[in-house]
Amino acid sequence: QRPAFGKAIAEHQAVAFHLAEMATGIEVARAMCHHAARLKQSRVRCIKEASIAKLFASQMAETVCSKAIQIHGGYGFINGFPVEKFYRDARVFQIYDGTNEVQKILISREILAGH
């Protein structure tokens, strides 16, 4: 709730829009992950759904963290500040357990195979 131009930063329309977009992206990513998990629990083939969920969630994590850094201003880059660590973690998520490029290959193969 740092102030900028005489009011709390969250009260500025541009920041409010960022927060709304961030929350929407997080909820969509969460729903996609839950959907893939339900399919897996039901022992249904879910390579495409799991890859789509991981791809979208990892991209959204980086986007959300990038916007959070922008909102926090200079504090977003300070080593040890939570937002900076979240961004690094989001980048690792795009690499760990199958890069985003690998996820795209898996998705396209599943689509072309009719799954």
Q: What is the pTM of this model?
A: 0.84
Q: Where are the domains of the chain?
A: 3-112
pLDDT digits (tens, 9 = 90+) for 24-37: 999 999 999 999 99
pLDDT digits (tens, 9 = 90+) for 62-115: 999 999 998 887 666 677 778 888 988 999 988 888 899 999 999 999 999 998
Mean of pLDDT values over 17-23: 96
Query: Which CATH superfamily hosts domain 3-112?
Result: Butyryl-CoA Dehydrogenase, subunit A, domain 3 (1.20.140.10)
What is the DSSP track for 12-78?
SHHHHHHHHHHHHHHHHHHHHHHHHHHHHHTT---HHHHHHHHHHHHHHHHHHHHHHHHHHGGGGGS
pLDDT at 76: 66
Q: CB of 49 within 8 A of CB of 39?
A: yes
